[in-house]
Amino acid sequence: MQIFRRCSPEKQQCGPNRGRSPQGPGQRQKAGLSVCSGLLLFALIMLVVSANGCHFQDRVEHTPPASLPIWRQLTFFRFQSQSPILQRFARLQPEILQYVRELDKRPYQDSGLSATARLELQQALQQLPPRLQRALQERLVQISFIKGFMSSGMTDYVVGPDGLYAVMFINADIIGQSMSALLTAKERTMYKPDQSGWQVQIKTSPRMSALTYILTHEAVHVLDLKERLTPYVEPSVIYWQEKQPPAAEIELFTDLWREYMQPAKAADFALRSKVAFYGFRGGPLLTAAQLPQLYSDLQKSPWLSAYSTIIWPEDLAELMTYASFSRNPSFQYSIELWQAGQRKQVYQPLQFPGVKARLARLQELQSLD
């Protein structure tokens, strides 16, 4: 089983980044929308480091870090796996607040949990399928809200004696938003408007909250850290994850993805390399005129969103999130293309043949139970 492509001594190329242009994290754009900025940032770091040779992977994969920040150690938290997940909400400790401020170069302040936010969080937690609930129960050490966070949510790792744990950051500003509004705004960061007038709109079941979407998506990352459904969640955790036996679901990613950021040739399509959200990778790299081609290609692919095509942990997070939502047969998810005030095209990603096959495989594996 290919876990990750190692450096080729002959070609001196690092696998995950071949053929891609390094971009700096400084090109990050205002978001308040993005999911998982942490993973994307690591992807960007990989791009930058790979430009200097292949030593990055050797260092990260096989040797433990000389030291971990205090907050990345489980002992920093008074973690009790039996405590209700809702009680894991906490104001950010100074060490973690400093970390996220430096990550995004923003003077963040953390946020308390308003009564509305608490209720939304409670509802979102209740909707999680059993396996994601267990993952949070056993491995989520803290959940915190940040005002004006550049992303909608972010999951980061913490190291314990028996594997990886997680802290979760949620943008306090998404409280009260619908999932449709959040996803539409996010999708529109992917392209520049032009004279073609094409515009995308994402529609999901109207009662779905943005927080339900974000919490479910982030919970999948926690599960991935815990049980290794993808070859590794991010380059920084390879040292710990390579010791873990993979979960059965890994077959869905080792076959489809050649590298962390590079799908197998048969699954790839031309405009995928231009998919960039929130200004990452110097984006937006697409124009509105390219939207019909993008979604036409996506329809023939194994992915149910453009976001899924970026790196394998996002593919997993999106796939399992929608697998969870579609347990309710009335759940709706469509991608609409509009032009001059008229709806011209409607895509139903859950009906894409490649997507249906993967969702069916998750069901066979009882991945949510």
Window 253 to 282, contacts with Zn ion (CB under 5 A): none
Report yes or no: 255 and 21 within 8 Å, Cβ to Cβ: no
Spell out, one character per residue from 6 to 35, where the chain touches Zn ion: x when CB under 5 A holds, - when not: -----------------------------x
Q: Within a 13 Å sphere around the CA of 369, how many CA atoms are in the beta-carbon half?
A: 5
Question: Between 15 and 38, whose beta carbon lies closer to Zn ion?
Answer: 38
Task: Compute CA distances 181 → 157, 201, 217, whole Å.
Answer: 29, 9, 16
Report yes or no: 141 and 166 within 8 Å, Cβ to Cβ: yes
Stretch that binds Zn ion, among 94-102, 175-183, 291-299, 314-322 (CB under 5 A): 314-322
Give the shortest CB-13-to-Zn ion separation in angstroms.
27
Give the shortest CB-267-to-Zn ion separation in angstroms.
19
**Which residue, judged by CB position, is nearest to Zn ion in the bound state?**
36
Give the shortest CB-12-to-Zn ion separation in angstroms.
31
Residue 182 in tokens: 């959040």
Query: What span, in angstroms and rounded, lies between the C-alpha atoms of 260 and 137?
Result: 28
Give the type of residue at 242. Answer: E
Question: Between 187 and 314, whose beta carbon lies closer to Zn ion?
Answer: 314
291 binds Zn ion, rule: CB under 5 A: no
Query: What span, in angstroms and rounded, lies between the C-alpha atoms of 262 and 273?
Result: 9
φ, ψ for residue 31 (rounded to 5)? Answer: -130, -85
Report yes or no: 361 and 319 within 8 Å, Cβ to Cβ: no
Q: How many residues bind Zn ion (CB under 5 A)?
A: 4
Question: Between 35 and 172, whose beta carbon lies closer to Zn ion?
Answer: 35
317 binds Zn ion, rule: CB under 5 A: yes
Give the shortest CB-317-to-Zn ion separation in angstroms.
4
Neighbouring-strand partners of residue 110: 146
229 binds Zn ion, rule: CB under 5 A: no
Query: What span, in angstroms and rounded, lies between the C-alpha atoms of 280 and 36?
Result: 12
Spell out, one character per residue from 34 to 73, where the chain touches Zn ion: x when CB under 5 A holds, - when not: -xx-------------------------------------
Binding site for Zn ion (CB under 5 A): 35-36, 314, 317
